[in-house]
Chains A and B, each alone.
Chain A
Amino acid sequence: MKKTNRILTILIFIFLYIPMAVLIVASFNTGKDITNFEGFTLNQYAELFRDEDLLRLLGNSVLIALLATGVSVAFGTVAAVGIHSLKPKMRKVVMSLTNIPMTNPDIVTGVSLSLLFVFVGSGMLGQRESLNFWTLLIAHVTFGLPYVILNVMPKLQQMDGSLTDAAMDLGCTPVQAFFKVILYEILPGIVSGGIMTFTMSLDDFVISYFVTGSQFVTLPVEIYTYTKKPIQNKVYAMFTLLFLLIFVLMVAMNLLQLRAGRKRETMRSVSRGGIIFRRCVAGLVAACLLVGCGFLIFGNKQERITLNVKNWGMNMADGSDGTLDIVKAFEEKYPHIKVNMSYYESNEALYSQLSNGGITVDVIIPSDYMIDRMIQSNMLLELNFDNIENFKYVDEQFKNPAYDPENKYSVPYTWGTVGILYNTKHVDEADLTGWDLLWNEDYAGKILMIDNSRDAFGIAQYLLGYSINTTDKAELDACAQKLAEQKPLVQQYVMDQIYTIMENEEAWIAPYYAGDCMLMMEENEDLAFFLPQEQGFNLFTDAMCIPTCCQEKEAAELFINFLTDPEISGANMDYICYGSPISAAREHMEDYLATSEIVYPSEEVLAKGTAYAYLSEEITRYVEGLYQEATKLNAFG
C-alpha cells in the first residue's frame, strides 16, 4: 500500500509538472511551434527584455498584486480583530458575507463587479471610463480580503485572550496591546493570508478579464488575447523566469518558516528572531504599499497623451519581418502622443465592448455594416476632415459609401474578400466546388468555421443562394439549419486562433479574410486560397472611426490622417496583405502583393462580390440568437 502510494504520488507530480516542462522547453526553441523542437536558442530571453510592452504588462500585474496585498492585509487584519469581538450570531453573519466571494464562481464575481462599476460609474456618475485602474484594484482587494480574514480568524481564536488583558494591566493602551501582543500571535495567519492574496491576484485572469478597461491591463488578461493569436516564444521565456522566481521565493519562505518554527519551539516567548521576523513582515507590507504608491505617483506622470486604438488582431504593421513599425513611426512624428493598442476579434465583439461601456477608445476600425449600425446607434463621432487632409488620396469609389453616405464618420482603411484557406497537401483540388467544401464530409474534423454570426450566416446564404442581406426570417432559419448541419464536421469555431491551427496543419480548411490568409500562406507554403466566385463572396471595407467614448479626438484624427498617407498605407499593406483604398499606396507596396490576384482581384471577379448591409437591430439580434443556438446549443439537432 505504501509503495503504490509512493508510485502514485510520483506519477501525479509528473502529471502536474509535464505541461510546465513543455513550456520551459518551448522557451529555448528556435522554431515557432510548441510541438516541434527545432533547435536551442537563448534569443527569446533577449527578446523578452527588449519588449517594453510585455514588461509593462508584467509591471502592471505586480503593481496590482502588491497594492491589493498591502490593502487586503492591513484592512483585513483590522477587520478580523473587529469581527473577533463581535457577538457570535453577528460573527456568523459576517463570516457568511466573507464566504460569498470565496464560494461564488469567479466568472459571476467578475460579471457582477463589472456590471456594478459600469452601472454606477457610467450610468449614475457619468464617468467616461468607469473601468479603470481603481476598479481593478477594488476587485482584487475584494477577493483578497476573505483570504486574509479566513487565515487570521483561526489564529485570533487560538490566541489566549488573557494575554491582551495582561498587556493592558501592565499599562498598554489597546493600540499598543494590538501591536505588541495580538499582532505577534496572529502574524503567521497574516503572512499566509498575504501570500495567498498575492499569488491569487498576480495570476487572476477571470475576474480581471471582466473588470479591465482599455488603459490598464494586466498580464494574464493580455495573455488570453495572445493565446488567440500565434503566441510568441518570449512569453514562454517570461513563464520560465517567473517559475524560477516563484520557486526560489517559496523555498526561501519555507526555510524561514522552518527556522522560525524551530526557534519558537525552543524559546516559546517573544524571541529576538520573532521580533526580527515580525519587523521584516511589517516592513514588507509597508514596502508593498510604498512601492505601489510610488508607481502610482511617479509612474503615471506622463507628459504624453495616450491614444487608445482598438484594432483587429494582426491588422497593422508592427515592424516584424522587416516591415515598418507604424505605431513607432507615428510616435516619432508626434512625440507627444503614445499609442495604446488593444484588440477585438470580430465586429460583433467590438460592438459589444463599446455598448457594454466603461472603456475609453479613441480609434476603431470596424467593417462596413457595423459602421452603419454604430451610426444608427449614435456610437460614432463626426470627423473633422480639416485634420485629415490625406483623405484627398482616397479613391473616389471608396468615398461616400453606402454605409456612410455623406462620409461624415469614417475613413477607409482596407478592403478585401472572404474566401477559403485550404491545405493543398490534404485537400483534393477537385473538391473546390464552392462554399460546399465547408460541408464536405470527407474532411470532417479538419474544417474550421469562422466564429461570428454575420460571416457565418453570409457563407450559408451564398451556399443556399439567398441574398446576404435578407431579412426574411424563414430564410434566416434555413441558414441556421444549414450551420447546425455543419456543426458535426467542424473542428472548432475560430477567429484569430486560426493562425496557429492552420499553420501547424491541425486543420485543413477554413473560411477567412483574404489578407490574413496571405499572411498564413507566407508561413506555410502548402496553404492556398480559394474564392468561390460562382456562388458569390463577401467584399468588405474596414474603415477608421472615432467612437463617442473618445477622449482625444484631435490625436485620433492625426492618427487616422497618418494612416491615410499613401506611403504609410502602402507600407502597412505590405504587412497586413489587404488592398488599400488609396491607389497611390499600391505603388509603395511590394510587387508580389500589388500584383497579387488575392489582394487585388480583377474587376471581373470583384463584380461577383457583395457587401453586407446593416439590417435592423431586431434582425441583428435575431441572427445572433440563431447563431448561438445553431453552433453552441444543438437547438437544431
Chain B
Amino acid sequence: MRKNKSVLLSTPYILWMLVFTLIPLGVVGYYALTDPESGAFTLSNLKDLGMYLPVLGQSVLYSLASALICLILGYPVAYYIAHRGPVAQKILYMLVMLPMCMSFLLRTLAWVGLLQDTGIINNLLEAIGIGRLQLIRTPGAVILGMVYNYLPYMILPLYATLVKLDHRLIEAAEDLGCTPAKTFMKVILPLSVPGIFSGITMVFVPAVSTFYISQKLGGTDTVLIGDLIERLFKQGDNPNLGAALSLVLMALVFVCTGIMNRFGGDEEGGVIV
C-alpha cells in the first residue's frame, strides 16, 4: 500500500524529464532533418557533415589529450589529498572545488592576459632576456585551457575512489613483500579504475563540446565542433545544420561514455560531495 503510493511520487519527475530532455532531443532531430528555408524534409544537412569530420576529429583529439593530462596531473593530487588527516582533506577538497564555482569565462580570459604576445608571461620572458614566445593561439593553449578548467572534475572522482580504498589491502600487499611501486601497480591502480574512467568522462564531455576556450585561446586553425554549432545558431542563421552537428556531437559523446562505463563498471551516481 505505502509502496504503491510513493511510486506515484516519481511520476511528475519522469514526466518532467521526458518533456524537457527527451522531447527536446526529438526537436533537434526534427530540425536536423528539415530545410532551413522551406521547412521541408531533407537529408542535405546530414550529407554536409562529411566536411565537418576534420573539425570533429580535432575536437576529439584535443579533449582526449586534455583528459589524459588531467589524469596524469590529477592522480597524484587526489592520492595526496586522500592520505591527509580529515581536516586537511576537507580544506584541500574545498580548495579544489572553489575554482569550479567562479566564473569560468573570466578565468579563461585571465589566461589570455597571461599567454598573449603582449601578455604577462611574455613580458616576463622578455625582461629576463629569453624573448617572446608564441604561446597563445596554439593547440597547446587550447589544451591548457581545457586542462585548467576541467582538472577539478578529474581530481574529485579520483579522490572519492581513493579515499574509500581499504587500507588493509595495501598493508597486506606490503606484508606479502610488494615494493611500493608494485603495490601501486597491483593494488591501488586497479582499485581506482572506476574513478579514473569517471574522471576521464567528466573531463572529456565538457572539453569536446566547448566553444569559449577555443575562441579565446585558440587561433584560426583550432576551430572545434562547439565553435561551429555556436556560430550556426547565433550568427550563421542555419539552426538546421547546427542541429545536425549537435546530433553528431551527442552521438559521439554517448558512444564514448558508453565505452567508459563498460570499463568503469556502471556505478549509480558517480557524483559525490
Contact = CB atoms under 8 A, between A and B. Distances in A.
B265 interface: no
29 contacts: A4-B76, A8-B77, A12-B77, A19-B114, A20-B99, A82-B10, A82-B13, A95-B268, A107-B211, A107-B230, A108-B246, A111-B233, A111-B242, A111-B246, A113-B20, A116-B24, A119-B27, A150-B269, A151-B272, A174-B6, A192-B273, A203-B100, A224-B105, A257-B90, A352-B235, A353-B234, A445-B134, A506-B116, A635-B51
A145 B271 CA distance: 13
B193 interface: no
B158 interface: no
Given A116-B23, A492-B137, A633-B54, A258 B87 contact: yes
A224 B212 contact: yes
B94 A112 contact: no
Contacts of B10: 79, 81-83, 86, 94
A242 B230 CA distance: 28
B75 to A, nearest CB: 10
B120 interface: yes
Contacts of A150: 268-271
A633 B222 CA distance: 10
A154 B269 contact: yes
Contact of B206 (A26, A106, A114): A106
A239 B36 CA distance: 41
Interface stretch (A343-351, A551-559, A574-582): A343-351
A487 interface: yes
Contacts of B81: 9
Contacts of A78: 9, 13
Interface residues of A, number: 119
B118 to A, nearest CB: 5
Interface stretch (B161-169, B170-178, B248-256): B248-256
A82 B11 contact: yes
Given A8-B77, A203-B102, A629-B51, A97 B18 contact: yes
A247 interface: yes
B110 A19 contact: yes
Contacts of A487: 220-221
Contacts of A506: 116-118
A619 interface: no
A247 to B, nearest CB: 7
B109 to A, nearest CB: 5
Contacts of B87: 258
Interface of B: 2-3, 5-14, 16-18, 20-25, 27-28, 30-31, 36-37, 51-52, 54-55, 73-74, 76-77, 79-81, 86-87, 90-92, 94-111, 113-114, 116-120, 123, 134, 137, 148, 151-152, 180, 201, 205-206, 208-209, 211-212, 216, 219-221, 223, 226-231, 233-239, 242-243, 246, 249-250, 253-254, 257, 268-273
B239 A115 contact: yes
A5 B76 CA distance: 6
Given A9-B76, A100-B25, A199-B100, 18 more contacts: A9-B80, A16-B152, A19-B110, A82-B7, A82-B10, A115-B24, A142-B20, A145-B17, A147-B271, A153-B268, A203-B103, A210-B233, A227-B106, A235-B106, A239-B102, A258-B90, A492-B219, A632-B55
A631 B220 contact: yes
B234 A16 contact: no
Contacts of B208: 105
Given A35-B118, A199-B101, A254-B94, A81 B6 contact: yes
B236 A348 contact: yes
B159 to A, nearest CB: 12
Contacts of A629: 51
A289 to B, nearest CB: 17
A183 interface: no
Contacts of B103: 203, 205, 219-220, 223, 239, 242
A262 to B, nearest CB: 10
B98 to A, nearest CB: 6
B102 A254 contact: no
Contact of B205 (A105, A199, A505): A105
Q: Across the A-B interface, give the 10 residue pairs with the lowest CB-CB distance, nearest first.
A: A82-B10, A82-B9, A105-B209, A79-B13, A192-B273, A112-B24, A19-B110, A34-B113, A352-B237, A116-B24
A12 B78 CA distance: 11
A203 B226 contact: no
A31 interface: no
A139 B52 CA distance: 29
Interface of A: 1, 4-6, 8-9, 12-13, 15-20, 22-23, 26, 33-35, 75-76, 78-79, 81-86, 94-95, 97-98, 100-109, 111-116, 119, 138-139, 142, 145, 147, 149-151, 153-154, 168, 174, 192, 195-196, 199, 202-203, 205, 210, 219-220, 223-224, 227, 231, 235-236, 239, 242-243, 246-247, 250-251, 254, 257-258, 345-346, 348-349, 351-353, 355-356, 445, 452, 487-488, 490-493, 504-506, 617, 621, 624, 628-629, 631-635
A1 B181 CA distance: 10
B254 A86 contact: no
A297 B197 CA distance: 46
A183 to B, nearest CB: 14
A142 B271 contact: no
Given A75-B13, A246-B102, A174 B97 contact: no
Contacts of A345: 235
A147 B272 CA distance: 9
Nearest to A453: B236
B106 A632 contact: no
A506 B24 CA distance: 42
A250 B90 CA distance: 10
Nearest to B20: A142
A628 B253 contact: no
Contact of B235 (A119, A142, A174, A452): A452
A203 to B, nearest CB: 6
Nearest to B99: A16
A292 B181 CA distance: 55
A34 B227 CA distance: 25
B98 A142 contact: no
B220 A112 contact: no
Contact of B109 (A84, A111, A151, A227): A227
A490 to B, nearest CB: 5
B182 to A, nearest CB: 13
Nearest to B119: A35
| Most chain B beta-carbon contacts within 10 A, residue among A85, A195, A491 | A85
Nearest to B230: A107
Contacts of B254: 103
